[in-house]
């Protein structure tokens, strides 16, 4: 069960060189154990002499970082939410702070006649 291929090796890792520690990190990546990849990939890149293994470890580490455009979209969504909340509070506001309803004159009761 320690074979990365058993977990479905990621497509970008198919051409990675065979290395025991790198295979362990790819297996952790495939399982979704990104904490292991976050800790192990920089250590492997710093400790190995093989340039291909170093490049593969760096690529594996880069794959768990959030996309920069996603960061911008989250920032935009937060700013839009803050703007719309401020707009709502200043224009209509929460319940009780809005424009009071128009005063409608009361409807008189219907006239009744007493029949003897």
The mean pLDDT value for 84-112 works out to: 80
Instruction: Output the CA torsion 70→44→22→55 (10° steps).
Output: 60
Q: Are the C-beta atoms of 27 and 7 separated by less than 8 Å?
A: yes
pTM, full prediction: 0.59
Q: Are the C-beta atoms of 41 and 60 separated by less than 8 Å?
A: yes
Q: Which domain holds residue 29?
A: 1-9+17-78
What sign has the CA pseudo-torsion 46, 51, 53, 57? positive
55-66 pLDDT, tens digit each:
999 999 999 998
- Residue 112 included in any domain: no
pLDDT (0 to 100) of residue 8: 72
- Residue 59 included in any domain: yes
2-34 pLDDT, tens digit each:
554 555 788 888 889 998 999 999 999 998 999
- Residue 26 included in any domain: yes
């Amino acid at each position: 069960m320690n074979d990365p291929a058993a977990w479905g090796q990621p497509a970008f890792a198919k051409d990675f060189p065979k290395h025991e520690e790198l295979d362990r990190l790819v297996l952790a990546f495939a399982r979704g154990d990104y904490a292991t990849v976050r800790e192990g990939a920089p250590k492997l890149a710093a400790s190995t002499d093989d340039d291909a293994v170093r490049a593969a470890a760096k690529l594996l580490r880069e794959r768990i970082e959030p996309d920069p455009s996603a960061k911008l979209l989250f920032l935009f969504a937060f700013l839009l939410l803050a703007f719309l909340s401020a707009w709502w509070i200043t224009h209509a506001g929460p319940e009780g702070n809005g424009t009071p309803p128009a005063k409608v004159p009361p409807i008189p009761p219907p006239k009744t006649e007493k029949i003897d």
